[in-house]
């Protein structure tokens, strides 16, 4: 399944928009929204989309509630809107 970078980024934004401002999403939420029956191959492309959005200052990538560097984060991560606090 070919999914564009733009589509992945837009899906991240749409899922975040559908939740409370303080909420976060899992990369698997994005992958499952795009390909419910074959979502696992999309996990790394979704993480890469999250990295691009984090680099642009739109989102933050967290692990166990703390903001982490999306390039070096290993294991489960979450994505949330960037906070200005």
Rounded (5°) CA angle 29-33-39 = 80
Q: What Cα–Cα distance (Å) separates residue 14 from each residue in 64, 72, 85?
A: 23, 25, 23
pLDDT tens string 5-51:
999 999 999 999 999 988 999 999 999 999 999 999 999 999 999 99
* pLDDT computed for residue 20 by the predictor: 92
Environment class of 70 (CB within 10 Å of its CB; exposed 0-12, middle 13-18, buried 19+): buried
Report the C-alpha gap between 45 and 19 in whole angstroms.
Answer: 22
pLDDT tens string 59-75:
999 999 999 999 998 89
* pLDDT computed for residue 34 by the predictor: 96
């Amino acid at each position: 399944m070919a999914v564009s970078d733009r589509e992945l980024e837009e899906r991240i934004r749409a899922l975040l928009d559908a939740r409370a401002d303080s909420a976060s999403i899992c990369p698997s939420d994005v992958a499952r929204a795009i390909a419910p029956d074959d979502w696992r191959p999309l996990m790394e492309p979704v993480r890469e989309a999250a990295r691009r959005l984090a680099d642009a200052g739109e989102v933050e990538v967290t692990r166990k509630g703390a903001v982490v560097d999306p390039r070096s984060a290993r294991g489960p991560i979450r994505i949330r809107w960037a906070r200005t606090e």
